[in-house]
Amino acid sequence: MYDSLRSLSCFADIEAITPIAQGLSQHCYKILADNRCFFAKTINSSTEVTIALSAAKQHFSPVVYYHDSKWLVTEFIEADNLASSKLCYTEKIITSVSLMFGC
């Protein structure tokens, strides 16, 4: 997998590749390259790319930097899970409803 990632045309200089295994069903990686941080995952269908591109266009998901028949590369976003945040229950509901309304 690492050689496959290193050969993608979207990266000029890969500094680090870190596998992400928690809670994901596909091979996923955090990529430090070109002074930026990316999320790369293997894909099984073009439908996932279509959805990712559409969601990114509407600002519901990270920007798609690269895709082909095997890989989807987006901006890497590191954030806490709303469920485990220190917000009070009411604030969690307000945030959730606001996000759902936006969709």
- Over the stretch 45-83, which tens digit does the pLDDT of each residue have? 889 999 999 999 988 889 999 999 999 999 998 877 888
Please say whether the beta carbons of 87 and 79 come within 8 A.
no
Coil/strand/helix, residue 69: coil
25-34 mean pLDDT: 92
pLDDT for 23 equals: 63
Mean per-residue pLDDT over the chain, rounded: 90
How far apart, in whole angstroms, are the C-alpha atoms of residue 57 and residue 36? 20
**Number of helices and strands in the chain (H, E):** 3, 5
Q: What percent of the chain has pLDDT over 90?
A: 60
82-103 mean pLDDT: 87
Beta bridge partners of 33: 14, 36
* Beta strands, E only, 1-103: 14-20, 28-33, 36-42, 64-67, 71-75
Question: 10 or 25: whose pLDDT is higher?
Answer: 10
Which pLDDT band holds residue 99 (cuts at 50, 70, 90)?
Answer: confident
pLDDT for 47 equals: 92
